[in-house]
Amino acid sequence: MKMSPTHESKKVSLANHDRAEPVEIWKARNFIRDHSDEELSLDQVAKSVNISANYLSEKFKKVTGINFVDYVAHTRIEKARDLLHNVNLRISEIAFAVGFQSLSQFNRVFKKLTRQSPTEFRAAHARRSKRH
């Protein structure tokens, strides 16, 4: 059955709402969001939603478009970006607060995903804030 363009756009927009995805992936994403500041493994998340790690890995990539490890990294970096606005927090404190095991790992992943180091990101935000 071919969908009309209108129907296809509704399908795409629904994919962005939490419950339009398979329930186990929705639960897994919520678990990751709620526990991203802890050490997380694929096995741990799979157990939390009562499915096998292999099934979660395959289904997760298919539904979200990125693999489990990258999704966790993106989640942590988004939280870090928010925390970097607080100049009273050291970057190392932020790195550990969002779940990274080392400052060097945090710096490497942050730069990979944002194309800026955490220090550069913070400085750019400070410059933008002063202009407004």
Asked if the structure places residue 7 within a domain, the reply is no
Host domain of residue 104? 20-131
- Give CA–CA dist 94/76, Å, rounded: 10
The whole-number pLDDT of residue 15 equals 42
* Residue 118 CB coordination number (10 Å): 22
Asked if the structure places residue 6 within a domain, the reply is no
Structural domains of the chain, count: 1
Spell out, as residue ranges, where the chain has pLDDT lower than 70: 1-19, 132
The vertex-90 CA angle with 84 and 94, nearest 5°, equals: 55
Asked if the structure places residue 41 within a domain, the reply is yes
- 17-38: per-residue pLDDT in tens? 445 789 999 999 999 999 999 9
112: domain CATH number is: 1.10.10.60
Specify whether the CB–CB gap between 75 and 33 falls below 8 A: yes
Asked if the structure places residue 54 within a domain, the reply is yes
